[in-house]
Amino acid sequence: MSPLIRQHRYALGVTLRRLLSQPFSSIANILVITLALAIPLLGATALMSLRPVANHLTADPEMTVFMQVSATPAETGAVADRIRRDHASEIRGLRVISRDRALAELKANPAYAQALAVLPDNPLPDAIVVTLEGEDLAQRSAKLAALWKTWTKVDMVQVDSAWVQRLEAILRFARASLLFLALVVAVAVLAAVFNTVRMQAMTQREEIAVARLVGATESFVRRPFLYQGALTGAVSALIAIGAAALALTPLNDALLGLARSYGAEFALHLPGLPVLAAAVIAAGVLGALSARWSVTRSTRF
Amino acid sequence: MIEFQQVYKSYGRGIDTLADVTFGIAQGEFVFVSGPSGAGKSTLLKLIAGLDVPNRGTVLVNGKNVGKLPGRFRPYLRRAIGTILQDVHLLSDRSAFENVMLPLTVTGHSRAAAAKRAHAAIERVGLSGKDGLRPQELSGGDQQRLAIARAIVNRPGLLVADEPTANLDRESARRIVEVFRDFNRVGVTTILATHDESLITDYATRVLLVKEGKVTDGGKRTPRLGGEVEA
């Protein structure tokens, strides 16, 4: 075994001994960092679970062209033909819902049947439902809506994907907030590890002085603290993942009930193994960097 | 082995702790550094041990210029020097054996080889059977012996001890100096700082007198208790 490996093994042993010599302090410190890490982890879990749902919803954007009530079936048909002809490459599908059919469908619903029965005339207009094709749907649908609205006998154009756009905007905002939260948590982890290592370095001053006296390099002196920081960060991240996984069970139970009431299936899932592994490594590296900074400041020779 | 050339050292209070110090110590010498408290003895020894650097002048130890040696190389210089400070700096949470093992751990020795050398060093200073005791369970004299064992376990060519007998009774102090003399007899250059005149009279073959930052070389002398004067 090379001297360097022996020194690393020694440093790891010293680290574990120090952590175990103050079990309550070590556990409290790890728990604080765990809590700090669990919050953005759950946030990331929610965002990553929502992304495919949002993607799926935006895959079928529909626009509804409402004709004026006075428009004849021929005029409605002319508008539908014009959409097919002028925007053939931009649409995937088109269907016309006549005002009579709309009224019949509405009457079939007992909730509206009574109210509709007292109306003298059919108040509903003809409608043309257009399914769009291709990319950049949000921008194109807005342009098409503005254009179609100017056509004769067209009353209004409704972009059915508007709420999806709003959802996307919310997700963008949530992603930015999550990034900010992650930065705040990173600073919190840095501060927690920095302070712990500083306290530890204070109590180990005598040992550090003796090690330097007998020829220890600065790397040798710092190494146990670096291991301590890295271990604290990585173990906290692992526990945070475990805690998040546990928290997802009751959260998903509640969420599933809500989703089913909308006729959907939705559940929160932790990010994949590579992302979780990267998070553990990042927390470890962050802990080690903080420890290095702290021990360098606290144990100047 | 050691060369001081017009060395100045101050700690920023406008007063030179050492001023214009020039002397040399050859391989294998047994030198006492004497002088009143606060005269600069400890500073002198710290410069020799690579624990501090001069403000001006040159300190050469084993051919290395201590002042110009980059910080990352200084630990390697210290490994070649056995240093015993006035406060023994023993780790109270470890056994005598573990204290002696530390320099070998620092240099990356295997546990088996380190244990063998640590036991030999402990035996050499007369602490056999006390390996498992904590420093606080040892007498003052034995704590000094333990510090010496830790200093010699890396087999240094130079031993530097700052007031190693300061807190000991007369008999214990003599025994400690004799341990140092034993090492010197096998070729280890030894430098002891003390203000105990009787020890100097009995053991010193050369004395450097430090007073108000100046060092006066007392030259070679014959000790009362049969030390040999280097040619």
Eight-class DSSP state of A247: H
Between A18 and B189, residue with greater pLDDT: B189
Of B102, B108, B111, which has the smallest distance from its Cβ to A210's Cβ? Answer: B102
Residue A264's pLDDT band (boundaries 50, 70, 90)? low
Chain B interface includes A111 (CB < 8 A) = no
Whether A232 has a pLDDT exceeding 50, the answer reads: yes
Q: If you average pLDDT over residues A67-79, what whole number do you get?
A: 93
Which tokens belong to B218?
């007392």
**Binary contact (A213, B90; C-beta < 8 A):** no
List pLDDT tens digits, range A93-115: 899 999 999 888 888 877 777 77
The candidate with the shortest Cα–Cα distance to B15, out of B42, B48, B40, is B40
Residue B165's pLDDT band (boundaries 50, 70, 90)? confident
Of B76, B108, B150, which has the smallest distance from its Cβ to A3's Cβ? Answer: B108
Residue A239: CB atoms within 10 Å: 17
Backbone angles phi, psi at B183, to 5 degrees: -65, -40
Q: If you average pLDDT over residues B123-152, what whole number do you get?
A: 89
Chain B interface includes A217 (CB < 8 A) = yes
Partners of A218 on chain B (C-beta within 8 Å) are 71-72, 75
Of A4, A206, A217, which has the smallest distance from its Cβ to B91's Cβ? Answer: A206
Which tokens belong to B196?
């105990």
Contact A241, A270 (CB under 8 A): yes
- CATH number of the A62-160 domain: 3.30.70.3040
Q: Which pLDDT score is estimated for A84?
A: 92
Residue A57's pLDDT band (boundaries 50, 70, 90)? low
User: What residues contact B88, with CB distance under 8 A and at least 6 apart?
Assistant: B135, B143, B144, B146, B147
List pLDDT tens digits, range B43-72: 999 999 988 899 999 999 988 898 888 888
Of B85, B106, B109, which has the smallest distance from its Cβ to A216's Cβ? Answer: B106
Partners of B77 on chain A (C-beta within 8 Å) are 215
Helix intervals (H) in chain A: 3-21, 23-58, 73-86, 99-107, 110-117, 137-148, 162-203, 205-213, 218-261, 273-298
Residue span(s) of chain A under CATH 3.30.70.3040 come to 62-160
Q: If you average pLDDT over residues A59-66, what whole number do you get?
A: 79
**Binary contact (B154, A215; C-beta < 8 A):** yes
pTM of the model: 0.69
ipTM reported for the complex, 2 dp:
0.83
**Binary contact (A218, B103; C-beta < 8 A):** no
Q: If you average pLDDT over residues A262-277, what whole number do you get?
A: 82
Chain B residue closest to A3 (CA)?
A: B108
Q: Which pLDDT score is estimated for A55?
A: 60
**Taken in order A283, A285, A288, A289, is the CA torsion positive or negative?**
negative
List pLDDT tens digits, range B194-230: 888 888 888 888 999 998 888 888 777 777 765 544 4
Between A168 and A123, residue with greater pLDDT: A123
List pLDDT tens digits, range A138-189: 778 888 889 999 999 999 998 876 666 777 777 788 888 888 888 888 888 8
Q: Which pLDDT score is estimated for A54?
A: 62
Q: Which residues 155-214 in chain A show a CB within 8 A of chain B?
A: 206-207, 209-214
